[in-house]
Amino acid sequence: MFFDPMYFLFIAPAFLLGLWAQMRIRTTYAQAQRLAAPMSGAAAAQHLLHLAGLESVRIEQTPGHLSDHYDPRAKVLRLSREVYQSRSLAAVGIAAHEAGHAMQDAQQYAPLVIRNAAVGIASFGSNAGIVLVILGAMLQMNMVLIWAGIALFSGVVFFQLVNLPVEFDASNRAKAQLVELGVVNQQELHYVRKVLNAAALTYVAATLQAILTLLYLITRFTGGRKQDR
């Protein structure tokens, strides 16, 4: 499939959307990074967690650029160095988004619970599913292997679909909390919103790519090859 021009035609919309999303992140993040905030990203996250009663959630600095994430198993919010230390609108926006995930976890937000449960099958299915489909195609179109691979890859699509409301909800919580607590005003929220919206586009692109890849697998290996038998 990796050398099939049809595959690249299938995923072209998702690929182009992903490129545009990455460009948007770079430009909006650079713009918001130049605008001062009253506290660092780490302090903003700590402020939000404290007011939410989540004193047990730790905040740690982690290597990498925009490697920020919340670990629900360890109850740790990990922020990249520039987000952790920077007193900018970009930093407080991203840190507040990750704090939003911690709030979701504490409240047992249903899509987050489902997403966490689906992580294992999605991680396994992303590679194993493709391998089974290709192996089935090599073994004289073994439909048992092909459908098993498609079923496994469907777990990736399911994960991505569930992940969208998780990410959008975390951003909505971040924007509301930052204004409500006086960390940013309405004018500054405009720049925070631009950063978070650009980040959300990357999740939309990833979801679209997973859906289009699944459609390609179904079309290419269960319908398009029947006439070749």
Percentage of the chain lying above the pLDDT 70 cut: 96
Axis-axis angle for helices 186-218, 143-180 (nearest 10):
170
Q: How far is CA 93 from the centre of its chain?
A: 16
Global pTM exceeds 0.85: yes
Count the domains in the chain: 1
Q: What does the mean pLDDT of the chain come to? A: 92
Q: Are 86 and 33 in contact (CB under 8 A)?
A: yes
Q: Which of 98, 167, 180, 188 is catalytic?
A: 98
Strand partners, 61: 79
Residue 225 clears pLDDT 60, i.e. is over it: no
Sheet holding 69-71, edge to edge: 58-62, 76-80, 69-71
Residue 56 clears pLDDT 50, i.e. is over it: yes
Look up the domain containing 169 and give its range: 5-228
Residue 229 clears pLDDT 90, i.e. is over it: no
Residue 228 clears pLDDT 50, i.e. is over it: no
Average pLDDT over residues 17-22: 95
Average pLDDT over residues 38-67: 94
Pairwise CA distance, residues 95 & 115, whole Å: 21
Residue 57 clears pLDDT 90, i.e. is over it: yes
Residue 146 clears pLDDT 90, i.e. is over it: yes
Task: Confirm whether 98 is a catalytic residue.
Answer: yes
Strand partners, 159: none
